[in-house]
A and B are shown apart, each in its own frame.
Chain A
């Protein structure tokens, strides 16, 4: 796990540069005594305002003090203040946030009121006011920053903790008899750690910039302290005669703030994988299928695949004619010889190893297979959503005649949701917990702000169509307020709102009870009859038998058999399909 994070972090140049700069500045400050050629306070009036020389690497200031030495010692003050303040606000804010979030109740109320109060004070104003009363002092500034800045930290941690403590592993730990302290330290804290680290890093930069700013105004460190803000302030008077005096401390402040920001952002990206990054990776590295499409190999893949058993134009000549001969049997999704591999440690796992699939327009096509057969990977391939460490090794995915491998990431984004929408297995997990249902629908439908009011009416219709009969209340609900079945219906409604042509449903009913399942499947029938094409990915043969028009059986990443449901279920051609059907018979086929 740490290795993965490290790799993700190293891949970001800015983050690595940031870390290198921080190390450099920190080392300079720590070893100032050894590195500095002079005492930073040693005045040498004879040599004042000198340019760089062997003796004074960066020249001297108005009192003949060594600028280089002062910069080195200044790193101590600036970084020291930044790290100290951050350390203290972390030590105050994180425990308060964790306890408030975990325990709730009276302590939470009290802590959050204190946070409210602390966040209402603008830190600069308070600092100015206190400096006015007590006189300028760096210690005062530090106290002000600590006194105010623990609060947003505590609030951030509290909200993270509330999210984590709802997860079942926390309940499981409680059920396993763990103490409160153990639950907090071992289960909650590690899972809120990454935003804490990122926030703290960015805070260091903020403290450095603030302290330098106040010192520059003469409200923080006082001359002759070796402080970058003070140096900057002193150099002002010599702007025309010795402009370099201004440049050095300015550069030092800029670099240290920048390095912490770069480092912090790199960390946050490494700790939270975001989908656009994967898209970027895809664009950087040539997609194998894209290369395939441009070379004759692509044409080869179109030909019957010798490996796939059901490969020879799976649905071109089914033993029976399609259920409704009037319907065009055109394939809207056509997958040929698809191979998707995943890197796992040093070995390569062949998640898909030669899958052929035709999805005919206006029909429900079921993809059925056991756990680990590659069903879900197949679904993701239809949206080109295979994330590293996975990649598409070979084959083509065509949707509505377009080869997905040939589309740019931008075209792909327009394509996802618009043409093909997907319903995921874990509906509550794939919805943003802090966004109301209507926001999810706006995003799915990409409604412009100007049309939101009218769109709401459409959404109410869509929600009513999926059997949610209080659409107004549902629109205003957060995902966690809805049951799993309701979330699943909302996901279907999102597909409807996007007006997609193809709806891929990955185990849409596997977590639902039977009556809800019946209602959702009924809805699928209605959607199909209104022209939507549905790909149903499931392990439930009952659902397939009662719902799908066509079925494709996959096992260990290969197409075993495909055809109409009647053909495959009543006259299975392959041994594997027979075994599969027999296993269901044993568990519930009421004869």
Chain B
């Protein structure tokens, strides 16, 4: 259930949290994380000079039962990181520890043995589904691979019960992706990912391109699954309101780097980029027009990477050192990590 909680403090993050969730336990230091990446690099053009990394020296852990938000500019490597964690992409370098096992270099067959424990919810676009597959086959396919003992009717039963949980009736079994709206497809995508009871789920923009009512239903659904089955999520989104509602911690990426990890979605951001991101949130109140002023310099080269700190060419507070050395992600207390040369909140 989504209940609006009173705004807690002057956090720059809009909205309210979903109540009744367990206290954040997902800090990498507390307990064993379900998945952890260490020194992860990914380059799509390994021969290009200079080397361009979609993901660069990334260290991040998702705790058991935790919902970790991942925000950042489009093209900053969020989706790539999600796919790397699930080994739908092969990392160029680095470790991916899933339940303690390094899966970074496993082959196709070895990965099949653990695929059912980790799933991805793809964006609800038409491309996410085989156009010749009905909903029953789409959701039932993972079952065919992992619930081999089950008969067709048993599998259909499981699909129907999960469909009901995502709010679609059994009449959707025979539908094809082209016959459904974006919101319906999104829910089918969720059902496909959850049918195997995964321990870790990557939600890639699961609530973009659906309207507000549908968004709330989907968030509620994800929260329910977490509560009932204790799975963990990496929640990739650019919708800060949704991130604020559902996530325990929030990681912020910029140009392939992790620049900040907030211990709570409503903690005030420290990194100038996170501040810019929060400031760009648009209020649905026309009187507040102009409040969402950009807190970054425009006119920087998009897609190119400056020397030193990746944000240095757009940052309002860039100093001399920012153009020379890349800041490391350091602990700023309270479980907050930030990669910035600035000592404190500017």
Known: A511-B205, A542-B284, A589-B283. A371 touches B181 (CB 8 A): yes
Interface size classification for chain B: 35 or more
Encode B298-338 as 1/0 by CB contact (under 8 A) with A: 11111110000000000000000000000000000000000
Asked whether any CB of chain A lies closer than 8 Å to the CB of B21, the reply is no
Q: Which residues of A contact B211 (CB under 8 A)?
A: 369-371, 539
Which of the 9-residue segments A41-49, A86-94, A218-226, A579-587 touches chain B? A579-587
Q: Which residues of B contact A176 (CB under 8 A)?
A: 115, 119, 141-142, 145, 192, 196
Cβ–Cβ contact B214 & A566, under 8 A? no
In chain B between 97 and 122, which residues have their CB closer than 8 angstroms to a CB of chain A? 108, 112, 115-116, 118-120, 122
Cβ–Cβ contact A485 & B73, under 8 A? yes
Asked whether any CB of chain B lies closer than 8 Å to the CB of A519, the reply is yes
Q: Which residues of B contact A544 (CB under 8 A)?
A: 284
Known: A187-B130, A510-B208, A570-B287. A518 touches B280 (CB 8 A): yes
Q: Which residues of A contact B277 (CB under 8 A)?
A: 513-515
Cβ–Cβ contact A470 & B304, under 8 A? yes
Q: Which of the residues B83, B129, B289 comes within 8 Å of A546, measured between beta carbons?
A: B289
Cβ–Cβ contact A583 & B181, under 8 A? no
Asked whether any CB of chain B lies closer than 8 Å to the CB of A352, the reply is no
Q: Which residues of A contact B116 (CB under 8 A)?
A: 177
Asked whether any CB of chain A lies closer than 8 Å to the CB of B19, the reply is no
Encode A203-239 as 1/0 by CB contact (under 8 A) with B: 0000000000000000000000000000000000000
Chain B interface helix/strand/loop/mixed: loop
Q: Which residues of A contact B299 (CB under 8 A)?
A: 469
Chain A residue with the shortest CB-CB distance to B132: A190
Chain B nearest CB, measured from A91 CB (Å): 22
Chain B nearest CB, measured from A114 CB (Å): 24
In chain B between 31 and 45, which residues have their CB closer than 8 angstroms to a CB of chain A? none
Determine the distance from Cα of A587 to Cα of B245 in the docked complex, in whole angstroms.
Answer: 8
Determine the distance from Cα of A168 to Cα of B79 in the docked complex, in whole angstroms.
Answer: 12
Chain B nearest CB, measured from A3 CB (Å): 12
Cβ–Cβ contact B112 & A177, under 8 A? yes
Determine the distance from Cα of A470 to Cα of B295 in the docked complex, in whole angstroms.
Answer: 22
Q: Which residues of A contact B164 (CB under 8 A)?
A: none
Q: Which of the residues B4, B129, B284, B302 comes within 8 Å of A467, measured between beta carbons?
A: B302
Q: Which residues of B contact A539 (CB under 8 A)?
A: 210-212
Q: Which of the residues A190, A484, A518, A545 comes within 8 Å of B289, measured between beta carbons?
A: A545
Asked whether any CB of chain B lies closer than 8 Å to the CB of A124, the reply is no
Cβ–Cβ contact A516 & B74, under 8 A? yes
Determine the distance from Cα of A514 to Cα of B252 in the docked complex, in whole angstroms.
Answer: 13
Determine the distance from Cα of A546 to Cα of B209 in the docked complex, in whole angstroms.
Answer: 18
Chain A nearest CB, measured from B29 CB (Å): 29
Chain A nearest CB, measured from B164 CB (Å): 20
Asked whether any CB of chain B lies closer than 8 Å to the CB of A541, the reply is yes
Q: Which residues of A contact B244 (CB under 8 A)?
A: 588
Q: Which residues of B contact A518 (CB under 8 A)?
A: 280, 282, 292, 294
Chain B nearest CB, measured from A191 CB (Å): 7
Q: Which residues of A contact B192 (CB under 8 A)?
A: 172, 176
Q: Which of the residues A426, A483, A541, A566 comes within 8 Å of B212, measured between beta carbons?
A: A541
Asked whether any CB of chain A lies closer than 8 Å to the CB of B263, the reply is no
Q: Which residues of B contact A514 (CB under 8 A)?
A: 238, 240, 277, 280-282
Asked whether any CB of chain B lies closer than 8 Å to the CB of A106, the reply is no
Chain A nearest CB, measured from B33 CB (Å): 20
Cβ–Cβ contact B292 & A589, under 8 A? no
Asked whether any CB of chain A lies closer than 8 Å to the CB of B63, the reply is no
Cβ–Cβ contact B112 & A172, under 8 A? no
Cβ–Cβ contact A507 & B289, under 8 A? no
In chain A between 539 and 581, which residues have their CB closer than 8 angstroms to a CB of chain B? 539-547, 565-566, 569-570, 580-581
Q: Which of the residues A1, A182, A519 comes within 8 Å of B294, measured between beta carbons?
A: A519
Asked whether any CB of chain A lies closer than 8 Å to the CB of B269, the reply is no
Choose among A1, A172, A469, A486 the residue with the greatest number of B CB atoms under 10 Å from its CB.
A172
Asked whether any CB of chain B lies closer than 8 Å to the CB of A276, the reply is no
Encode A516-527 as 1/0 by CB contact (under 8 A) with B: 111101100000
Q: Which of the residues A172, A371, A469, A521 comes within 8 Å of B300, measured between beta carbons?
A: A469
Cβ–Cβ contact B145 & A178, under 8 A? yes
Known: A516-B74, A570-B287. A175 touches B86 (CB 8 A): yes
Determine the distance from Cα of A227 to Cα of B130 in the docked complex, in whole angstroms.
Answer: 46
Asked whether any CB of chain B lies closer than 8 Å to the CB of A121, the reply is no
A interface vs B, CB < 8 Å? Answer: 1, 167-169, 171-180, 182, 186-187, 190-191, 369-372, 425-426, 429, 467-470, 473, 482-486, 507, 510-519, 521-522, 539-547, 565-566, 569-570, 580-581, 583-591
B interface vs A, CB < 8 Å? Answer: 2, 4, 7, 14-16, 71-76, 83, 86, 88, 108, 112, 115-116, 118-120, 122-123, 125-133, 141-142, 145-146, 176, 181-183, 189, 192-193, 196, 205, 208-216, 238, 240-242, 244-245, 276-277, 280-289, 292, 294, 296, 298-304
Contact sample, A vs B, 24 pairs, CB 8 Å cutoff: A1-B132, A1-B176, A176-B145, A177-B115, A182-B145, A186-B130, A372-B183, A473-B303, A483-B74, A485-B74, A486-B75, A510-B209, A512-B238, A517-B238, A542-B282, A545-B285, A569-B285, A587-B245, A588-B284, A589-B285, A590-B14, A590-B15, A590-B283, A591-B7
